[in-house]
């Protein structure tokens, strides 16, 4: 259920975990983290939701290419992952860097976001 899966996006391997059925929640981890951040929440929520937790490029089991690691670049990778998995719309849950990516993804591709949950989010400006 929570095993790591891989798919190729633009020549790079992206790792992700998936569990459950129902409305989709995309779980975006913080900097220097990976999808394991979400293991316990995934276990608790899998009976109610379809959960997808990627390892962002440069993190975890995903490739670590030389290139753009901006919020916009990460948002495009998440968009492409959603498309590859056939997900049209989802609730985005972002912690730290993942929150900044969720904000950027919603800004760039508003039709993808059903709802958003930000947890100690980065990318939201001065506090």
CA angle 27, 35, 24 (to 5 degrees): 30
Helices 97-108 and 71-84 cross at an angle (nearest 10°) of: 70
Query: Could you read off the pLDDT of 56-68 as tens digits, one per residue?
Result: 999 999 999 999 9
Does any domain span residue 78?
yes
> Among candidates 35, 33, 32, 31, which has minimal Cα distance to 14?
35
Mean pLDDT throughout 64-92? 97
- Is the pLDDT at 111 greater than 90? The verdict is yes
pLDDT at 127: 54
Q: Give the chain's domain count.
A: 1
Instruction: Give me the CATH number covering residue 75.
Output: 3.40.50.1820
Instruction: Return the half-sphere exposure (C-beta side, CA atoms, 13 A cut-off) of residue 92.
Output: 30
Does any domain span residue 127?
no
Does any domain span residue 124?
no
Q: Which domain holds residue 49?
A: 5-119
Does any domain span residue 36?
yes
Does any domain span residue 9?
yes
CB 75 within 8 A of CB 97: no
pLDDT at 80: 98
pLDDT at 122: 83
CA dihedral of 71, 24, 106, 17, whole degrees rounded to 10: 10
Residues 6 or more apart whose CB falls under 8 angstroms from that of 114 comprise 23, 89, 90, 91
Does any domain span residue 125?
no
């Amino acid at each position: 259920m929570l095993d790591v899966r891989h798919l190729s996006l633009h020549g790079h391997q992206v790792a992700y975990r998936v569990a459950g059925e129902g409305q989709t929640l995309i779980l975006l981890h913080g900097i220097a983290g990976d999808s394991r951040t979400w293991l316990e929440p995934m276990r608790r929520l899998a009976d109610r939701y379809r959960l997808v937790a990627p390892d962002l490029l440069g993190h975890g089991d995903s490739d670590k290419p030389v290139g753009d690691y901006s919020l916009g670049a990460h948002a495009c990778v998440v968009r492409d992952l959603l498309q590859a998995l056939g997900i049209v719309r989802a609730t985005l849950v972002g912690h730290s860097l993942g929150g900044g990516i969720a904000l950027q993804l919603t800004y760039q591709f508003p039709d993808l976001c059903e709802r958003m949950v930000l947890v100690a989010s980065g990318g939201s400006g001065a506090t």
